[in-house]
Amino acid sequence: MNTPIHQLGRFNHNEIWIKREDLLPFSFGGNKARKAELFWEEIRNGGYDCVVTYGTSISNHCRVIGNLCASRGLPCYIISPAEKSAPTYNSAMTALFGARTTAVPLQAVHDTIENKIRELEKSGNKPYFIEGGGHGNLGTEAYVRCYREIKEFETEHKIHFDYIFLASGTGTTQAGLVCGQLADGAKRQVIGVSIARENPGGREVVLDSVRSYLHAVGRRIPEKRIQEAVVFIDDYIDGGYGSDNVKIRETIEWVLKEYGIPLDATYTGKSFYGMTEYIRRLCVRDRDILFLHTGGTPLFFDALKNAKEG
């Protein structure tokens, strides 16, 4: 089932469209739900009997994987960096799903994951490991498929998106869209709005994901084209995860009031704000622009609650 794409409205002489990954029909949707579908295929086909993954208390990934495991009856083990951050709706749901979370200092995360996997294997289990955020070629593949949905929509509605904007974290989602674009050669710019990582490192991670996926599927693309296709902007990080910026808060309120669509302060609010700033600053005009709503709806409620109480 393709997620809906619909027109949002005009912004500075451009037509803004939105693809609603937040409406994917499992566990509040979002890009982690799309990635989880492919992880589940591998878990089922490989006969795995438990899952080990990684994430913080705000993690949409941990909520979706926790939900997946609960609904399929698999134990779920989450290694989490010990942090000061308060519980969130995501962490509350993750706990409700019965995921077993181990919090350790950040520098101990890697070893703790390895030990957990080894321990499970020793006791006769077959654990399936998922990188934090669903990072990796399978996560990238999920967004190559999403790109195909976008293409289908364009063909069907005789439209061409000149830009696709999205929130970029581990970069897997962006890498998938870029790989899709490299495959079809469409003239457009996919723009990842960084929500935490700075350049040049942030962009390098996306490039690595692109190269890794292309290598895995045996597709040769000249490095120059790959370099051109990966645009990762770090102008709107503003304190990284869960920052509290007035401009972002105003954007969230505006989009909710005007269009009835929830955005959150960590991912989609930040990237939507980044998109409008980019359009303004670079005087983008007369374009069809697609915003990929990557989900994270529970985080919208965290921000709402904090705004009311704070």
d(CA 133, CA 136): 9
Comparison of 120 and 291: residue with beta carbon closer to ligand PLP: 291
Residues 117-146 that bind ligand PLP (CB under 6 A): 133
d(CA 25, CA 235): 33
d(CA 131, CA 125): 19
Chosen residue from 66, 171, 180, 262 binding ligand PLP by CB under 6 A: 171
Q: Where do the H-state alpha helices sit in 126-189?
A: 137-157, 172-184
d(CA 230, CA 216): 19
Q: How far is the CB of 6 from ligand PLP (least distance, A)?
A: 19
Interface with ligand PLP, residue 202, by CB under 6 A: no
Interface with ligand PLP, residue 262, by CB under 6 A: no
Backbone angles phi, psi at 29, to 5 degrees: 60, -150
Q: How far is the CB of 270 from ligand PLP (least distance, A)?
A: 9
Q: How far is the CB of 12 from ligand PLP (least distance, A)?
A: 24
222-226 contacts at long range (C-beta below 8 A, 24 or more positions apart): 225/182, 226/178, 226/182
- The site that binds ligand PLP (CB under 6 A) totals a number of residues, namely 18
Residues 14-73 that bind ligand PLP (CB under 6 A): 30-32, 60
Q: How far is the CB of 231 from ligand PLP (least distance, A)?
A: 14
Comparison of 120 and 182: residue with beta carbon closer to ligand PLP: 182
Q: How far is the CB of 120 from ligand PLP (least distance, A)?
A: 25
Interface with ligand PLP, residue 172, by CB under 6 A: yes
Per-residue tokens: 290: 């697609």
Chosen residue from 127, 169, 269, 298 binding ligand PLP by CB under 6 A: 169
Strands (E), the chain: 5-11, 14-20, 50-54, 76-81, 100-104, 127-130, 163-168, 189-194, 231-233, 288-293
User: Measured between alpha carbons, how far is residue 134 from residues 131, 248, 255, 256 in Å?
Assistant: 5, 26, 28, 28
Q: Among 75-83, 86-94, 247-255, 288-296, which window interacts with ligand PLP (CB under 6 A)? A: 288-296
By CB under 6 A, name the binding residues for ligand PLP.
30-32, 60, 133, 167-174, 267-268, 294-296
